[in-house]
Amino acid sequence: MKKKGLSLIIAVFMTISLFPMLTSSADLFTANPTASAVLVNDEEVSFDAYNINDNNYFKLRDLAYVLNGTECQFEVVWDGELNAINLISGEPYTEVGGEMTSKGTARKTATETTSKIYLDGDEISLTAYNIEGNNYFKLRDIGKAFDFRVGWDGDKNTITIDTSKGYYPEADKLESAVFIHTTDENKSFVITGVRIIFDGRHEEIIPEDFTEILLSRNGKVIDCKLIYEWYQQVTTGDGIKTYFNFKFEKEIDLFGIYQLSGSYKGEAFITAEFDIPEPPKPDGEDVTFSVLTYDSKNGVNLALTGVWIQFNGTYDYINPDDFTDIKLTKDKSVVNVKLIYSGGFNSLYNNGTEFYFRFEKTITEPGIYSFSGKYRGVSFENRIYAIIESYPLSDNPANPDDIRDVIFHGTVNNNNEYIKLTNFMFFFYEIQQAFSISDLTDLKLTLNGNEIEFSLQDNVPRQVEYDKWVNYDSPYTLFYVHFVDELIEPGIYQMTGKYRGKPFASVKQKVVAP
């Protein structure tokens, strides 16, 4: 019986030597099973893990077992003589039995592990707990030690481990978010970005961890794109703060009340409201008329591209929302169209301002187009109808019976007096197709009644218009016949001749000295 008892004592001693119990402090900690799912390289793995003091602790040998064969594998070796755990990076893990065999489902008591911990021969300080004879380490500490990414998806309550990406530290508590703004040359506010402020010192952040970013103007969500720029650590009266600056892909200068919200690793944040005041803008009575714009080729209008709207006075700003009852018609039938504001400029020659809008889609269907609307309750309409034609035109010559006028054109001075003549224009009723210099005969140019020599360019630009302000009930066509040499000598000029056999005489035009 004594020998049998001695054998039992020896067996127990050998068991203790092979599976040592780590010495621990007397403090007891509550360990709750981790309820979060865990993804390792996008595959779900069921770990025996616990949450202690709001941090997740994983069984050390379970982590080594799961990461074995990846670029972040490591070996775990116990040194009983030194009461030390040796971690060896890059080495395959050697199983000892019991790995990944259970998952905690009940609350347990943990004691802090006091064993020394070595990483590749160097002692390191890591917080570890002993639960029922097994060592549990903070997941982020192991991620930092072996350089793998640890992430948190608050929306999905999921912990992620990614061995293809390097470790980055977890940010301290997000404190606030504020808009970054400047003022332009007109002292108006311009929002350029947003600053995310964290408590404490931090040196790296992953922009993709910011999700559900929403920017609103006057309570309505608008498009925005944030681009990460840089970080800065600042000492304040409340301690060290870290600023992470993001810029908007496009700066914001349109008046309104702005607010930005989002989530960082499941933690929501929102900026204070920022008000960009509305700058001075035209009154309703300042609107005068609109003019449709188009793309042309060889005198043929091929597509409507937009419209500009004329105002009396000089302005730098207009609110697109002040335009209502916008209507575009083709041959008096309404055409659906969407306007996009594209800017404005001052027309100094008439102390007015033209604000430009483009159509969301160009309009190419042939026809006669008109545009109208209201600005701050005051109606306006286009001065000149736009005529879209098919290309190319026919070779049919303009009808000489449709000639209304022949008028000189050129350069005027500040008093609207001509100082030189560059062309004379044939004004035809209706839409005409072609005009050739060879159809002009018996041409005679006089200056103060005396015939003078001249020569003409072969190319004749064409323009089709429908200007109801000149009291025409139908479209008309203009052909511009250009002189080779400009007419600059002061005096009274007149051109006479025949077009396809029909006589014409231009309106007399006076030229003054520059």
Q: Which 3-state string (H, E, C) describes 292-303?
A: EEEEEECCEEEE
Give tens-digit pLDDT for 349-403: 567 889 999 999 999 999 989 999 999 999 998 877 888 888 888 899 999 999 9
From residue 209, how far is each of 205, 319, 362, 509 by CA, in Å? Answer: 8, 36, 40, 73
Q: Indicate the residue among 388, 421, 444 that finishes a domain.
A: 388
To which H or E segment does residue 427 belong? strand 418-429
Task: Say yes or no: 253 and 311 in one domain.
Answer: no
Task: Say yes or no: 324 and 411 in one domain.
Answer: no
Q: Is residue 43 part of a domain?
A: yes
* Residue indicated by tokens 């770990």: 47
pLDDT at 502: 97
Q: Are 114 and 85 in contact (CB under 8 A)?
A: no
Q: Are 297 and 303 in contact (CB under 8 A)?
A: no
Task: Say yes or no: 417 and 506 in one domain.
Answer: yes
pLDDT at 198: 87
Distance CA 510, CA 447 (A): 9
What range defines the domain where residue 362 resides?
284-388
DSSP 17-39: HHSPPPPEEEEEEEEEEP-SEEE
Q: Indicate the residue among 276, 307, 331 that finishes a domain.
A: 276
- Counting the structural domains of the chain, the total is 4
pLDDT at 463: 87
**Predicted structure pTM score:** 0.46
Q: Is residue 158 part of a domain?
A: no
Q: Is residue 201 part of a domain?
A: yes
Which mean pLDDT values do the consecutive 10-residue runs of the chain (514 residues) have? 38 36 61 90 91 90 94 94 93 91 83 92 91 90 91 82 81 81 72 89 77 93 91 82 91 90 86 88 88 86 92 86 93 91 73 90 92 93 84 91 96 94 96 95 97 96 77 80 97 98 97 95
Burial of 14 (0-12, 13-18, 19+ CB in 10 A): exposed
Residue 309 belongs to domain with CATH number: 2.60.40
pLDDT at 17: 35
Task: Say yes or no: 338 and 249 in one domain.
Answer: no
pLDDT at 257: 93
DSSP state, residue 78: E
Sign for the CA dihedral angle at 235, 238, 242, 244 comes to negative
**Cis link prior to 392 (omega < 30° from 0)?**
yes
Task: Say yes or no: 425 and 312 in one domain.
Answer: no
pLDDT at 253: 84
DSSP 302-362: EEEEEEEEEEES--S---GGGEEEEEEEETTEEE---EEEEEEEEEGGGTEEEEEEEEEEE
Task: Say yes or no: 140 and 179 in one domain.
Answer: no
pLDDT at 479: 95
Task: Say yes or no: 147 and 21 in one domain.
Answer: yes
Q: Indicate the residue among 151, 166, 192 that finishes a domain.
A: 151
Q: Is residue 84 part of a domain?
A: yes
Distance CA 227, CA 26 (A): 50
Q: Are 382 and 307 in contact (CB under 8 A)?
A: yes
Distance CA 309, CA 325 (A): 14
Task: Say yes or no: 108 and 183 in one domain.
Answer: no
pLDDT at 218: 93
DSSP state, residue 207: G
Q: Is residue 160 part of a domain?
A: no
Task: Say yes or no: 45 and 85 in one domain.
Answer: yes
pLDDT at 278: 81
Task: Say yes or no: 314 and 420 in one domain.
Answer: no
